[in-house]
Structures are given as C-alpha cells and as structure tokens.
C-alpha cells in the first residue's frame, strides 16, 4: 500500500492526492524487495506531528535516532516530571491493519511486564492526523550493549555473567506472560550509564514486525524486520514456529559474542547466516576463552543447541549466570546448619580410627618372636667364638630395630584407634540423636542426607540447578546428589565395619574370650580378612561414587572461582565499611612477568625435583628395610664363620693335611718356570681349543659319584677290589688307557715342576683389542686329569705297585699346592677341593684297603677339616661395627686360612654398610674406609690387599666406576648420580640377597 511522502500516512492505491495533507502522491522509489522502500523521514515535521498529538501531556524535546523502522524521540512528561522515549513506527508497518492490531495487543502485553530489566511501556497510541502508531516507553540513559562492549573492551566474567543474567531474567519475565521478543540482539539491550543495569527493549515492536514481512524479507532485510540474521534462531530462519527457546538461542549468540568477543559463526549474507545457524557447530566457549568458568561456557553452549528441546529456559540461564541467584531456596534448610557437611567430619574421624586399626591389625598379624631381636647383636658378632651356629639365630638374634618397629606399630595403632574410635562413636551418637529430632519435625531422610553429605556447600545449588550447576540437566543433578549420598554412606559403612570388627576382636582378646589356636599370632589370617575385607569393599565403592560424581559434574566437581577484574576490586572497596579503604595499585607488567617466571620456576623445580625426592624416599625405605633385615640374613652365617675360624686357628687343617701328603710329593725337577707355565696353559685348554690335547673318552666323573648308602665313592671301593685283585680285565684296560693318556702324563710332569705362574697360565689366550678376560678359574679338564691320575693309582694298586699309587696321589697334592699359592678365592677353593677329593680321600681309601684303619680315620678327619676350610662362609657380618673390627681383623690376618679367602673377606667387609641405612644410601662412611685401610695394611699380602681394597671401595662408593678404572674421570654430575641413585640401588640389591657373597 502506498504512503504519503509528506505526512507518511497510508493512502489507497487509486488516489493521486493525500486525503490528509493534500500533497501530490508519487510512486515511492525503492531499492528493497517486496516493497520495503524506506521513506526519507522529515524528522522536524514528524516531531511537530507528535507534539501536536501528545501536547500538553508530553513535551517533545529532541530526536534520539531514526531508521528503517521509524524514529525515536526524547520527551518529557510534565505531570510526573520524568523523561520518556517515544518510538514511532514506519508507515510501511503502520499501513497494515493486522500489524496495527497485533502491535497494540503485544505492546499492551509488554506494558504489563513489571521487571527491573525490561524497558517499561507506558502507553500505546497513534497520532491524530496521520494515524502513525507510537509507543511511549521508559527512557534509559546509556548506550546499547554493542556500543557498551566496544567501548569497554574485554568484559570480565563477573560483569559478563551479570549482564547475561539480567537479560535472561527479563526474557524469563516476558515468557511467563507468553510474550516472545523475537529479536534479541545487542542493539535491543540498553545499559544504563549510571548503574550499569541491562534493559531489554522493543517487545511490542518485534510483535508488530512479525506479522508484516515475508520469509525472503526476514532473511534479507537486516534491522527492518523481526529476527536479525546474525542472532536469528534456526527455527526463525526456516519460518517455523517461534517459541521462548528462540529467544534463548538469540541470547546464546549474544552471550557468546560478549564473552569471547567473537560471533559463533561467520557469514557474509543473510542466507549464509541462516545456513550457519542451521548447519554449523560453533567452537565451545571454553575453547575461545579458556579462563572462563565451566558453568558459563556450558550454559552458553547449551543455549546454542540446534534443537529447541536441548536449550535451557531463560529462567535456567538466569539462575546459572546471576551470582545473586545462586539458589532459590534456603540452604541449608532452617534448623539444619549444624548438619551441613557433618558426614565429612565424621568420615575424617572414622578414617583416623581405620588407619589405627589397619596399622594395629597388620602388626598383630605378625608373630612377635619372628620380628624380635636380641639385645646386643653386634656384640654377639664380635664375641661369638665357639658358639655353634643354629637355624634359630635369625629368629632370636634379629635386629632390635624390628622389635621396636613392631612395638611402635602396635602402640601407635592402638592409641590412634582408641582415641579416634571413641571420638567417632560419641559423634555418631550425637548425630543420630539430633537427626532423629529433625526427622520428627518433618524433614525427609533424603534432605537430611543431602545436607550431611554436602562436603563443599554446593548441594543446594545442585538441588535447584543454579550457580555452578545451572547448565546441567535434572537427571544429572539428581544422580550427582545420589553419588554424594552414596559416598558418605559407603565411607560410613566401611569405616564403621572396620572399627566395629577390630574393636570387638580387641575386646575379646583383652577379656581372654578369643584365642587363635591355629596360629601363634594374635590375629590369624581369617580374622584379618574378616576385619579388613568388607571395609575395603565399602571403601572401593566409595571411590566409585567419587569417580561417578566426577564423571557427572566434570570440571564442576570442584568449586570454581573466577578472577576478579580491577573494576570488581574497586567496587568491593567502595562498599567497604571503612570509607578510606582503597584498592592497591595494579602491578605493572614487569611485576607480572616476575610472578609468572617465579611460578614456572616453582613448577619446573617440582617436576624435576619431585621424582628425585620420590626416588629418595623409596630408596630410604628400602635401605631401612635392608638394614633391619641384614642381621637376620647374615647372623647365622657370621656366627658359624667365627666358630669355624676359631677351629681353623686351633687345628690348622691345611698344615695338618700337608703332613699326610708331604711324604708322597714328587721330587722337584729343574723345569724353568716359563716352561711349567706353558705346560699348565696347554693342560688348561678346553678340548674345543684348536691347540688343545685330546680329551678323555670316558666320563671320569662317574667314578667319583657319592653313594649315600655306603657313604663312599666308586673309587673308594675300587682301591679295596684292586688290592684284592678283583677288578675285571676290561676295567683294568680302561684304567690303563687313562693312566697313559697325554693329559695324565702332562699333569704328572707339572707336579714335578718347582714353580708355576698359575695366573699367567690361566689368562685367556686372546685379550687383544680390549677384550675382557674371563674369570681365572681352573678348567674342568685339569680336574679330569687329576681324577684320571687318581684312577691310575687304582691301577697301580691292582698291579701290586702300592708305592706308585702313593706317588700318583702325591702328584695330585702337588698340583693342589701349586694352585694354593695364588691369592685368588676361586683357585684356592678349587685347590682345597682337589686336595681333599683327589689326595686325602684316596689316601684314606688306600690306607683302609691296606688295613691301616687308624691312619684312614685320621685322613678322613683331615679331609673333613679341609672341606670345612673350603666352605668357609661370607664375612659380610664381621665388619658391621667400623669402630671395632677385632674379629674381622683376626679373620683376614689368619695365615692358616688361604690368602684368596682372606682377600675375599676383605672385599666382603664393605658389606658391613648394609647394616646402616645411611651407608646403604650414600656408601661407606669415612670411619669405615679408614678402618678397612688399617686392616689391609696389617695383612701379610699387603700389595694384593691394597689392590683389592681400592677396587672394592670404588665399587661400593661408585658402582659405575668403569670410566675411572680405564683412566678417565667421570664428570661430577655423573658421579653424584652414581652415588645418590645408581650406587644406592646396587647396594640395596647387593645387601638384599642373603645368599650372595657380596
């Protein structure tokens, strides 16, 4: 319908002159589709029309603005002495009767909204002559939201929540009266300059616009029709039914832009915006602004849901955003303030009692006799000479520290359990009594449980869906409350069970009414399981409830506090009771950088030093455990060693045995040492070596197998049969082959040599290119040669050549003597075994076969004594006390013990560090090193002892000392790492194996 360009009144299509003002009618120029030509407003004339129509009730002061919808003027109402805003609609809208009727109806509905955040509509009418509709509304002195945002810059979270919440409360008030705004956007939100309060405007205008525009117009004419494409909901874009949830979507777009300073979508045209609203998924608000609280981000994201059913109501948005509306109900309920969080306090007390119960239960499940330690166990190490070792030593002579630990665990556990348990029981009794009173007054059990389980003071917000939990659905919030109830209930059940079960068991034990007949411990395995298992199951369920709540609430499981901006700080001090209080000056950027660098330094230090501290604690625990268990592991062996050393010192087993084989030693020839060394090298070569002698064709070891029934070997019986001429011919032939074998002959030749460099002979043939040499141990083929020579003695006896048999056994003894001269433990051990098994024992068998029973018995006893020397144990426990190494010094200086054993003991003496946690962690102390050096200097083998001492000390102090051994010094940091960690771990492993020679 055309309109008059002068008075803007609608006129019929077929008239050529305005019936109102008489102006000539011309066709309206337009560049807009669907007849949306915008008139050229004559503001002064329109102001005159309003003045004549509204006088004397309103005085038009000045225009405030104009646009495609019309114009708005500032006016004064003399009667009430207030300023008002008068908005006049464009003639294109006023010319439609349907729009006029609906505009009046919706405007009156808007006028009925009485809300502090809605621009009040005072009156609706039309001008007298031109019949232009107008609205008289509240005047808000301030910018619109878009201007306010651009002028202010980045909006703080608290301020943003307040603005969004106030807009949401205004929309919620309108929605309660079935009034939908339809065009929520920043230009329709006014911010009062004086108070900062947000006002929503243009309810009636939106209603009028919704009846006049086509779908195409709605998508193309931004600002002139209802629903601005940038803020339009998906259903508005498709001309579907508009509901209050449409306003919520538009509010979500507005809030997203306010918080993140960006729109959720990007488009260039109205159709592009419509497609974006229908299709695109915006980035989460939290991603665009990470410091924002989760509730704000989640609420805005829910508002932008494509489906209206997935969006919250405006009232939900208001409850979630406005700090002043954290809850709509009183929380805790009246009279239940004492109950809030009470379950948490009870559970803490109960957990203290449970810790005491578990500690005491664990301690009481051990037999005190097993962890007991006799007083003065070091003194027992030092003065236990002559005391026979017993299997019970580790049980009776363990470290006294274990007993102290056991006693401490029992005492601390029982005291903690008693005090916390009594406090818990009294608190529970009081809790039940007061809760029962409240139940009688009408409070539901679930309400009492919710208040008691409210460990962070936010169960009220969960219940009402406000504050931090406004963005959550009802089912999620109900399940979160159930998780809190379940957590408190299961914790209470589990702790109550452990307290009750352990308390009852302790009571029965105290009264003598419970006895553990099947176990020496105070609490048997069944009792421990009965006490701890049900409680542990309840605690597992409690952990599941904690996880459930965390899964339900996500980041909101913990209270969130947003950062206040400077304006928040200033506003708080304005309300301070002391009028002269002012906020501190804002720190400059350089101070902020210092704070940031300090925090990052602390984080880096924690990341770097935290694992080191954790490893240190673990190593300290292991070192303490090792030190307390060391006497039990090595006590019996040490006591046995002391007794055996005394026995060796008195009897001199090697000297006594030498008296038996000395008469049969072969006469020494003049073979040079170099030749003898080469002969031993040839004999020691394994049969797989290309230059080795041929091996024996029979299993010689089978002749020396021990018969447990007869308590002797096949060779022992063979001497008897040989002297009685009872050996079969095939056996004699086999013995003859062994006697004539090249290896046997080479052994006999070696036995007559005066000097052999055994170490040089046993060195590997190829140690070039830095290849590590193998351990210096006699090859089994040499032992086989000695065995073959023993069997050859049986052949001589069978042939009547008893002197030859003695000679061959003397040759075996000569080989043992050669080996015994070298100060190496493994060679000395093999030498003693060779002397006992292939010299003394065959001599005893030969004497017994000849009827010399007394001599045979003496030889057998000498053999046992030689085996005793061979099996002398570890000296790890002899050097426990570095201030008193008398027993240790006596053992390593005893010349009646082979030098190889004594040098090994010198190395094992460093294992005394295992008895002290500090030395296990940090290596031998200075006093120990000085004491060990004094012991080494007192030994006859001073050069070898010094070499052993140096290498073993380096191994205990710096376990990774290969670089030092090769002539290069390890860096200081590497040595420190070795000492603190690698060395500690290796020392713990070395000390922790009670069977290792260390």
Q: What is the pLDDT of residues 900-942, one digit of tens each?
A: 888 888 888 888 877 776 677 667 878 888 888 898 888 888 8
Q: Residue 169: its pLDDT value, please? A: 92
Q: Residue 76: its pLDDT value, please? A: 93
Residue 545, number of CB atoms within 10 A of its CB: 19
Task: Find the range with the poorest average confidence among 159-163, 265-269, 471-475, 906-910.
Answer: 471-475
Which tens digit of pLDDT belongs to each residue from 498-554?
Answer: 777 877 776 665 454 554 443 445 566 777 788 778 888 888 888 888 888 888 887
Which tens digit of pLDDT belongs to each residue from 941-964?
Answer: 888 888 888 877 776 765 544 444
User: Which of residues 525 and 18 earns the better pLDDT score?
Assistant: 525
- Whether this prediction's pTM lies above 0.75 is answered by no
Q: Residue 861: its pLDDT value, please? A: 92
User: Which of residues 14 and 36 earns the better pLDDT score?
Assistant: 14
Task: Find the range with the poorest average confidence among 182-196, 645-659, 824-838, 973-987.
Answer: 973-987
Which tens digit of pLDDT belongs to each residue from 580-599?
Answer: 555 555 544 445 556 556 65
Give the β-pairing of 133-138 and 82-89.
antiparallel
Distance CA 637, CA 871 (A): 11
Pair 931, 865: CB distance under 8 Å = no
Residue 212 CA: distances (Å) to CA of 3, 227, 238 = 16, 13, 16
Assign 34 a pLDDT band (cuts: 50, 70, 90): very low
Across 424-443, average pLDDT: 75
Q: Residue 59: its pLDDT value, please? A: 92
Classify residue 992 as exposed, middle or buried by CB count within 10 Å of its CB (0-12, 13-18, 19+): middle
Distance CA 128, CA 460 (A): 57
Q: Residue 964: its pLDDT value, please? A: 43
Q: Write out the H or E segment, with its range, that includes residue 635.
A: helix 589-651
How far, in whole angstroms, is CA 973 from its chain's centroid?
A: 27
Task: Find the range with the poorest average confidence among 61-65, 555-559, 576-580, 794-798.
Answer: 576-580
Distance CA 896, CA 866 (A): 12
Q: Residue 560: its pLDDT value, please? A: 59
Q: Residue 268: its pLDDT value, please? A: 84
Assign 106 a pLDDT band (cuts: 50, 70, 90): low
Q: Residue 373: its pLDDT value, please? A: 32
Evaluate if residue 875 carries a pLDDT over 50.
Answer: yes
Assign 203 a pLDDT band (cuts: 50, 70, 90): confident
Ranges of H-type helices in 740-835: 742-751, 758-762, 780-798, 802-820, 825-835
Task: Find the range with the poorest average confidence among 204-218, 296-310, 332-346, 436-450.
Answer: 204-218
As beta bridge partners, residue 138 has: 84
Q: Residue 28: its pLDDT value, please? A: 35
Q: Residue 205: its pLDDT value, please? A: 55
Q: Residue 204: its pLDDT value, please? A: 59
Q: Residue 139: its pLDDT value, please? A: 93
214 CB-near residues (< 8 Å, 6+ apart): 34
Assign 881 a pLDDT band (cuts: 50, 70, 90): confident
Q: Residue 41: its pLDDT value, please? A: 58
Q: What SS3 class is residue 328?
A: coil
Q: Is 183 an annotated catalytic residue?
A: yes
User: Which of residues 803 and 579 earns the better pLDDT score?
Assistant: 803
Which tens digit of pLDDT belongs to each residue from 601-614?
Answer: 666 665 665 566 55
Find where tokens 């560090």 sit.
913
Ranges of H-type helices in 72-156: 91-94, 97-111, 145-152
Across 50-57, average pLDDT: 88
Classify residue 627 as exposed, middle or buried by CB count within 10 Å of its CB (0-12, 13-18, 19+): buried
Task: Find the range with the poorest average confidence among 163-167, 477-481, 807-811.
Answer: 477-481
Across 217-221, average pLDDT: 37
Distance CA 488, CA 496 (A): 12
Q: Residue 417: its pLDDT value, please? A: 77
Evaluate if residue 883 carries a pLDDT over 70.
Answer: yes
Assign 575 a pLDDT band (cuts: 50, 70, 90): low
Q: Residue 584: its pLDDT value, please? A: 58
Distance CA 272, CA 411 (A): 77
Pair 264, 221: CB distance under 8 Å = no
User: Which of residues 411 and 660 earns the better pLDDT score?
Assistant: 660
Evaluate if residue 74 carries a pLDDT over 90.
Answer: yes
CA nearest to 245, candidates 254, 237, 257, 236: 236
Catalytic residue among 183, 247, 450, 833: 183
Evaluate if residue 215 carries a pLDDT over 60.
Answer: no
Evaluate if residue 813 carries a pLDDT over 60.
Answer: yes
User: Which of residues 86 and 508 earns the better pLDDT score?
Assistant: 86
Assign 995 a pLDDT band (cuts: 50, 70, 90): very low
Evaluate if residue 199 carries a pLDDT over 90.
Answer: yes
DSSP 421-440: HHHHHHHHHHHHHHHHHHHH
Across 291-306, average pLDDT: 87
How far, in whole angstroms, is CA 569 from its chain's centroid?
A: 38
Q: Residue 523: its pLDDT value, please? A: 66
């Amino acid at each position: 319908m055309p309109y008059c360009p002068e008075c803007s009144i609608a006129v019929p299509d077929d008239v050529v002159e305005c019936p109102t003002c008489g102006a000539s009618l011309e066709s309206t120029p337009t560049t807009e589709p669907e007849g949306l030509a915008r008139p050229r407003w004559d503001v002064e004339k329109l102001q005159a029309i309003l003045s004549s129509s509204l006088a004397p009730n309103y005085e038009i002061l000045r225009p405030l603005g104009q646009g495609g919808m019309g114009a708005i003027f500032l006016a004064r109402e003399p009667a009430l002495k207030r300023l008002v805003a008068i908005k006049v609609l464009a003639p294109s809208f006023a010319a439609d009767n349907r729009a006029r009727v609906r505009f009046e109806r919706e405007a009156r509905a808007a006028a009925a909204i009485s809300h502090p955040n809605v621009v009040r509509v005072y009156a609706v009418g039309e001008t007298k002559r031109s019949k232009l509709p107008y609205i008289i509304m509240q005047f808000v002195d301030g910018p619109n939201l878009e201007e306010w945002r651009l002028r202010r810059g980045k909006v703080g979270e608290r301020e943003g929540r307040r603005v969004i919440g106030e807009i949401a409360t205004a929309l919620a008030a309108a929605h309660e009266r079935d009034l939908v705004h339809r065009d929520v956007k920043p230009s329709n939100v006014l911010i009062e300059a004086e108070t900062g309060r947000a006002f929503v405007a243009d309810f009636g205008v939106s209603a009028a616009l919704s009846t006049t525009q086509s779908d195409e117009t709605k998508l193309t004419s931004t600002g002139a029709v209802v629903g601005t494409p940038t803020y339009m909901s998906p259903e508005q874009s498709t001309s579907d039914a508009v509901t209050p949830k449409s306003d919520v979507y538009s509010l979500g777009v507005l809030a997203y832009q306010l918080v993140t300073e960006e729109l959720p979508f990007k488009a260039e045209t109205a159709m592009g915006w419509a497609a974006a609203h229908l299709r695109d998924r915006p980035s989460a608000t939290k991603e665009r602004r990470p410091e924002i609280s989760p509730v704000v981000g989640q609420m805005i994201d829910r508002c932008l849901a494509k489906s209206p059913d997935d969006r919250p109501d405006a009232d939900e948005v208001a409850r979630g955003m406005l700090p002043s509306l954290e809850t709509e109900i009183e929380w805790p309920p009246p009279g239940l303030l004492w109950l809030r969080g009470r379950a948490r306090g009870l559970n803490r007390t109960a957990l203290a009692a449970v810790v005491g119960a578990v500690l005491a239960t664990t301690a009481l499940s051990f037999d005190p006799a097993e962890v007991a330690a006799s007083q003065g166990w070091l003194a027992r190490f030092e003065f236990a000479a002559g005391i026979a070792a017993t299997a019970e030593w580790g049980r009776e002579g363990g470290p006294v520290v274990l007993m102290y630990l056991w006693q401490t665990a029992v005492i601390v556990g029982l005291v903690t359990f008693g005090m916390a348990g009594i406090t818990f029981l009294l608190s529970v009794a009081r809790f039940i009594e007061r809760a029962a009173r409240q139940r009688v007054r009408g409070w539901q059990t679930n309400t009492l449980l919710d208040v008691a389980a409210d460990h962070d003071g936010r169960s009220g917000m969960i219940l009402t869906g406000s504050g931090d939990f406004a963005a959550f659905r009802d089912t999620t919030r109900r399940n979160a409350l159930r998780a809190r109830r379940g957590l408190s209930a299961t914790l209470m059940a589990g702790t109550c069970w452990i307290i009750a079960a352990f308390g009852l068991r302790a009571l029965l034990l105290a009264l003598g009414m419970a006895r553990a007949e099947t176990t020496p411990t105070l609490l048997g395995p069944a009792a421990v399981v009965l006490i701890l298992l049900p409680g542990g199951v309840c605690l597992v369920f409690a952990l599941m409830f904690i996880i459930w709540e965390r899964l339900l609430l996500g980041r909101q499981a913990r209270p969130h506090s947003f950062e206040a901006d400077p304006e928040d700080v200033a506003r708080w001090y304005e309300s301070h009771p002391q009028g002269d209080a002012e906020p501190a000056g804002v720190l400059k950027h350089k101070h902020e950088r210092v704070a940031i660098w300090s925090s990052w330094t602390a984080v880096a230090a924690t990341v770097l030093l935290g694992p080191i501290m954790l490893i240190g604690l673990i190593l300290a625990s292991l070192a303490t455990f090792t030190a307390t268990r060391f006497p039990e592991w090595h006590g019996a062996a040490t006591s046995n060693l002391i007794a055996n050393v005394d026995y060796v010192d008195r009897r001199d087993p090697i000297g006594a045995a030498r008296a038996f084989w000395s008469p049969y030693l072969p006469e020494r020839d003049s073979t040079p040492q170099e030749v003898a060394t080469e002969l031993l090298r040839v004999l020691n070569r394994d049969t797989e070596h290309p230059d080795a002698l041929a091996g024996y064709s029979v299993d010689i070891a089978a002749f020396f197998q021990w018969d447990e029934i007869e308590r002797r070997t096949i060779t022992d019986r063979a001497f008897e049969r040989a002297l009685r001429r009872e050996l079969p011919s095939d056996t004699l032939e086999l013995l003859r082959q062994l006697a004539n074998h090249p290896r046997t002959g080479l052994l006999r030749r070696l036995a007559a040599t005066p000097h052999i460099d055994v170490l040089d002979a046993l060195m590997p043939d190829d140690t070039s290119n830095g290849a590590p040499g193998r351990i210096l141990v006699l090859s089994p083929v040499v032992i086989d040669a000695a065995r073959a020579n023993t069997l050859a003695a049986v052949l001589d006896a069978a042939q009547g050549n008893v002197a030859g048999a003695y000679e061959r056994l003397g040759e075996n003894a000569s080989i043992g003597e050669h080996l015994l001269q070298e100060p190496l433990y493994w060679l000395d051990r093999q030498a003693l075994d060779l002397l006992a098994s292939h010299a003394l024992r065959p001599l005893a068998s030969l004497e017994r076969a000849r009827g010399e029973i007394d001599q045979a018995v003496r030889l057998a006893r000498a053999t046992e004594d030689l085996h005793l020397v061979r099996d002398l144990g570890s000296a790890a426990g002899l050097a426990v006390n570095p201030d008193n190494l008398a027993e240790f010094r006596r053992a390593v200086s005893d010349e009646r013990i082979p030098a190889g054993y004594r040098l090994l003991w010198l190395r094992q003496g460093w294992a005394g560090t295992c008895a002290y946690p500090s030395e296990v962690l940090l290596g031998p102390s200075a006093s120990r090193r000085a004491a060990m050096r004094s012991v080494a200097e007192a030994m006859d083998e001073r050069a070898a002892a010094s070499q052993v001492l140096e290498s073993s000390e380096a191994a205990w102090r710096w376990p990774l000392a290969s670089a030092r051994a090769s002539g290069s010094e390890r860096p200081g940091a590497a040595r420190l790492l070795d000492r603190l960690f690698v060395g500690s771990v290796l020392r713990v492993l070395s000390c922790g194996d009670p069977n290792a020679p260390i």
